[in-house]
């Protein structure tokens, strides 16, 4: 909307945009438009995606929907290791990942039960969060969308969110 409304003064002050667990919001044409507007000398738009989060993989990027992401994907795996990618792995949650996604959901549940013992009380999760993680074993990707995962990714991942395209992997 800033571009459509020609909010040039505000856009000049815009350093970067970070989204967390954002779904796809447009088609290729929209993505190309946004990339052209948000990428001058260095990228300004970053999508943070945690592990197998279902929401950033919706709506599907297939022959029917053709939704696309734009910007740089800052992908965090379930151990909070970060990679700069063009697209998160398993971009449409294909059946090939049926078992690995469940194994990751079990790991995330176990990790949530012990992380506060290792890292401190501020990492203790609520009962509702634990129940969500149990449900996430049955419906993979749902519990990965929890804000707890994104907060932990930022807290336990690399010390800064300051990527460049020089280390983006296709």
pLDDT of residue 160: 67
Q: Counting Cβ atoms within 10 Å, is residue 97 exposed (0-12), middle (13-18) or buried (19+)? A: middle
C-alpha distances (whole Å) from 161 to each of 34, 77, 154 are 20, 15, 8
Mean pLDDT of the chain: 86
Rounded to two decimals, what is the model's pTM?
A: 0.85
Give alpha helix (H) positions in the chain.
Answer: 8-13, 28-38, 98-119, 127-138, 147-156
| 73, 170 contact by CB (below 8 A) | no
Mean pLDDT on 72-99: 86
Over residues 120-168, the pLDDT tens digits come to: 999 999 999 999 999 999 987 889 999 999 999 999 988 766 555 445 4
Over residues 66-75, the pLDDT tens digits come to: 888 888 899 9
Task: Give the Cα-Cα-Cα angle 148, 150, 153 (nearest 5 degrees).
Answer: 105
- Sheet of 82-85, strands arranged across: 17-20, 45-50, 72-76, 82-85
Q: Residues 6 or more apart from 48 whose CB is under 8 A from it? A: 18, 19, 20, 21, 74, 76, 150, 153, 154, 161
Over residues 90-112, the pLDDT tens digits come to: 877 777 778 899 999 999 999 99
Over residues 26-69, the pLDDT tens digits come to: 998 988 888 888 776 677 889 999 999 999 998 988 778 888 88
């Amino acid at each position: 909307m800033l571009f459509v409304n020609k909010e040039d003064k505000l856009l000049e002050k815009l350093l970067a945009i970070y989204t967390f667990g954002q779904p796809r919001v447009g088609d290729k044409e929209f993505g190309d438009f946004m990339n052209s507007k948000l990428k001058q000398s260095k990228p300004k738009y970053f999508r943070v995606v945690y592990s197998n989060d279902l929401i950033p993989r919706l709506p599907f990027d297939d022959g029917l929907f053709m939704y696309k992401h734009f910007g740089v994907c800052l992908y965090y795996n379930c151990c909070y290791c970060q990679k700069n990618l063009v697209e998160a792995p398993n971009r449409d949650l294909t059946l090939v990942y049926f078992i690995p996604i469940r194994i990751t959901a079990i790991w995330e549940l176990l990790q949530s039960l012990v992380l506060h013992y290792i890292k401190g009380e501020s990492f203790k999760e609520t009962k509702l969060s634990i129940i969500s993680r149990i449900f996430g074993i049955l419906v993979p990707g749902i519990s990965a969308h929890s804000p707890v995962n994104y907060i932990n990714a930022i807290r336990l991942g690399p010390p800064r969110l300051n990527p460049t395209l020089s280390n983006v992997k296709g």
